[in-house]
Amino acid sequence: MTTANHEDTTTLQLALAWGFVGIPLAWGVIQTLINAMKLFH
Amino acid sequence: MLSFLDRSHTIAKPGFSRWMVPPAALCVHLCIGQAYAFSVFNLPMTKLLGITKSTPADWKLTELGWIFSIAIFFLGVSSAVFGRWVEEGGPRRAMFTAALCWAGGFFVSAIGVYAHNLWLIYLGYGVLGGIALGIGYISPVSTLIKWFPDRPGMATGMAIMGFGGGAFIASPLSVWLMSKFSTATHIGVAETFIVLGIVYFFFMIVGSVIVRVPAPGWRPAGYTPPVAARGLITNNDVFVYDALKTPQFWLIWWILCLNVTAGIGVLGQASAMSQEMFPGHITPVAAAGFVGLMSLFNMGGRFFWASTSDYIGRRNTYFVFMVLGFLLYCTVPYTGAVGSVVGFVCCFLVIISMYGGGFATVPAYLRDMFGTRYVGAIHGLLLTAWSMAGIFGPALVNYIREYNVTHGVPKAQAYNTTMYIMAGLLVIGFICNFFVKAVDARHHMAADDTRGKEPVGAEA
């Protein structure tokens, strides 16, 4: 909740912020990992 | 409206969680990290006219290679030139500017592809994009250091890990977008640039909205700043241009330059090197997998080593890089001689993790030496070491290999000399690190020093 002198960060805001960057990054890492597995084939 | 971008409008109010700042930093670093994946456009851009194969009027790979080089050059230049402006103007203004330049660079490049004018791409992605890289790289790092005085290594490691991870997203996304926009008579590079520009602009703007600087006097709950300097960690600040007058700045400049030179050369040649050192054992497909694995260790090393430096100290972390790197580089020719693919792969995965770790640990090293007030601007000046290493690293590997091959050395052994030279560079890096001492008190800023504008909230 934000007031003139206060700006509480909620758990939902934290989850949204981390999900916003974490989900694309996790997708990219998985794609790279799938590609990297070719080394062991 | 633009006052929204001012530093004074980004001061966090009580109750704001500092854990909102790493995602804000990642919003920028994940986007500008796309630079590492720009090569996915190179081959398609050599066939924009011929579509199925290159025609004489199509661009050459050598011409396209300059796009990335110009961007990295302007990264170094802009971070050095605009570092003080970034520090004093605040992270929101800097991140907003980086977003405009980054997206603008893609849009100008899209026009360049439509008009088949390479100079527009040099200007767009190279110059505008390079400026975005420099400003976007240093701004969130400096902000995180101020929010995490108790764990500066971990904090900067998170952001710089994002820069390494940006390519993981950009590479498959760009390939997928090009496949969607391409037809039998058209290669969809320009459309892909436009979509990427829009997506990256949105992401970076979200980051600039979220970001905050700590209020003056703020400190994390339970954290008590040390009263006196501890070893190399100072409680004082050094003015950005005074840092240039200290031997510590130039020693760390050389440490970064040598560490990056040792890593960047093999990073670019990993695929060819692995196939030539192990002919018949590592196929081109397996080599591509090896490069992917190296990218993951490059990214993971950024977070791991920078976080580790919070516990063992920045100087000791670089001692580990230099000693372990020296041993591993000396071991690589042996793995080739005995045909140990596993040994070769393990050596390079650790080496490349320390390459990433070197980037991620250096902002906290600077903070230890020069304080938090101008750490972003000093970091910007230090990144010129990256530009220098970007030229020398690949050249060392390529030219020495070429010399060896033309003088009759078998390809499987053509890299051995380079490995020993890299090991030698790390010995020099060790010596530089050994001579790093605390900054002399005469360089410290006085409490009433009026140089530059007072960066509000930088006291944390």
Residue B302 has pLDDT above 90, yes or no: yes
Residue B20 to residue A14, Cβ atoms within 8 A: yes
Which residue has tokens 């991620």? B360
B448 occurs within a structural domain: no
pLDDT of residue B350: 96
> Do residue B273 and residue B195 come from a single domain?
no
Residues B378 and B277 grouped into a single domain: yes
Domain identity same for B202 and B282: no
Q: Residue B98 phi/psi, 5° resolution? A: -60, -40
In which domain, by residue range, is B198 found? 2-210
One domain, residues B180 and B282: no
Q: Per the domain annotation, does B455 fall within a domain?
A: no
Residues B287 and B397 in one domain: yes
Domain with residue B294: its CATH number is 1.20.1250.20
CB contact under 8 A, A9 and B14: no
Report the gap between the CA of A18 and the closest CA in chain B (Å).
6
Same domain, B290 and B381: yes
Task: Find the residue in B nearest to A32 (Cα).
Answer: B292
Please report residues of B whose CB lies closer than 8 A to that of A22.
23
Whether pLDDT at B21 is above 50: yes
Same domain, yes or no, for B273 and B205? no
In a domain, B312, yes or no: yes
Is B296 close to A39, i.e. CB distance below 8 A? Answer: no
Is residue B267 over pLDDT 90?
no
What percent of chain B clears pLDDT 70, i.e. is strictly above it? 97
Beta pairing partners, A25 = none
B168 contacts chain A (CB < 8 A): yes
- Examine residue B120 and state whether it is found in any structural domain, yes or no: yes
User: Residue B229: which pLDDT band, with cuts at 50, 70 and 90?
Assistant: low
Would you call A26 an interface residue with chain B, using a CB distance cutoff of 8 Å?
no
Cβ count within 10 A of residue B233: 17
Is residue B455 pLDDT above 60, yes or no?
no
pLDDT tens by residue, B304-352: 999 999 999 999 999 999 999 999 999 999 998 898 999 999 999 999 9
Does the distance separating the beta carbons of A6 and B23 come in below 8 Å?
A: no
Could you tell me which chain B residue has the CA closest to the CA of A41? B286
Q: Are B145 and B276 members of one domain?
A: no
Global confidence as pTM:
0.88
Q: What angle do CA B155, B456, B458 make, to 5 degrees?
A: 30
Last residue of a domain, one of B210, B232, B249: B210
Q: Is this complex scored with an ipTM above 0.95?
A: no
pLDDT value of residue B316: 96
Cα–Cα distance for residue pair B452/B373, rounded to 1 Å: 11
Average pLDDT, chain B: 90
- Answer yes or no: is B268 within a domain: yes
Please report the pLDDT score of residue B180 as a whole number: 95
| Burial label, B429 (beta-carbon count in 10 A; 0-12, 13-18, 19+) | buried
Q: Which of B293, B294, B352 to mutate to test the interface with A (most CBs of A within 10 A)?
A: B293
**Residue B23 included in any domain:** yes
Write out residues 19-38 of B within 8 Å (CB-CB) of A: 19-20, 23-24, 26-27, 30
Chain B residues whose CB is inside 8 A of the A25 CB are 26, 30, 162, 165, 168-169
Cβ of A21 and B16 within 8 Å? Answer: no
Is the pLDDT at B392 greater than 90? The verdict is: no
Find all residues with CB under 8 Å of B328, minimum gap 6, and list them. Answer: B347, B348, B350, B351
Render B366-379 in DSSP notation, one character per residue: HHHHH-STTHHHHH
> B432: helix, coil or strand?
helix
**CB proximity A21 to B under 8 Å:** yes
Does the structure show a pLDDT above 50 at A30?
yes
Beta strands in B332-391 (DSSP E): none
In a domain, B453, yes or no: no
DSSP structure class, residue B451: S
Number of structural domains (chain B) is 2
Evaluate if residue B456 carries a pLDDT over 50: no
Tell whether B358 is covered by a domain: yes
- Kindly state the tokens that stand for B419: 């490995």
Residues B199 and B261 in one domain: no
* Structure-block tokens of residue B246: 């200290």
**Distance, in angstroms, between B180 CA and closest chain A CA?**
18
Question: Beta-carbon neighbour count of residue B3 at 10 Å?
Answer: 7
How many interchain CB pairs under 8 A, A with B? 91
Q: B78-127, pLDDT tens digit by residue?
A: 999 998 899 889 999 999 999 999 999 999 999 999 999 999 999 999 99
Interface test with B, best of A35, A37, A40 (most B CBs within 10 A): A35
- Residue B13 dihedral angles phi and psi, to the nearest 5°: -90, 165
